[in-house]
Structure 1
Amino acid sequence: MKEIISSMAGTVLNVMVEAGDEVTAGQEVCMLESMKMEIPVESQDAGKVVDIKVNIGDFVNEGDVLVVLE
């Protein structure tokens, strides 16, 4: 399993993937908002989405798991 983690604290604005989706390295999977800035979160690896750990509106901290890939 590979985990996509948040690089900073912020609020989840959008989740661009669903369970079962195939993602490629560099693909945006979430959009966070921090200090009025939108920060895209990209997958570091290719894989299949097996779990999404956040919902739109959730507050996340740096290091929190956002998406799990297989």
Structure 2
Amino acid sequence: IIILEAMKMENELRAPRDGVVATVKVKPGNSVNQGETLVTLQ
């Protein structure tokens, strides 16, 4: 559901279950921290 770029490498993050994205808590280009919620699923 998200591609996270770190040190010029792209890491694909997959949802742990089927669902619909309810909210996106970050914008493209934002820095994020470990453990931070990026999206929520319905």
TM range (shorter): 0.7 to 0.9
Q: In the alignment, which of 33, 36, 42 is matched to residue 61 of structure 1? A: 33
Q: Does 1:38 align with 2:17?
A: no
Stretches of structure 2 lacking an aligned partner (at least 5 in a row): none
CA RMSD of aligned residues (A): 0.8
The alpha-carbon deviation at position 49 of structure 1 amounts to 1.4
Q: Which has the higher contact order (CA 8 A, sep 6+)?
A: 1
Stretches of structure 1 lacking an aligned partner (at least 5 in a row): 1-28
TM-score by length of 1: 0.55
Runs of 4+ in 1 over 2 A off after TM superposition: none
Larger strand proportion of the pair: 1
What fraction of aligned residue pairs are identical, expressed as a percent? 40
For 1:9, the equivalent position in structure 2 comes to none
Deviations 1:19-63 (A, max 9, x none): xxxxxxxxxx11111111111111011112111111100101111
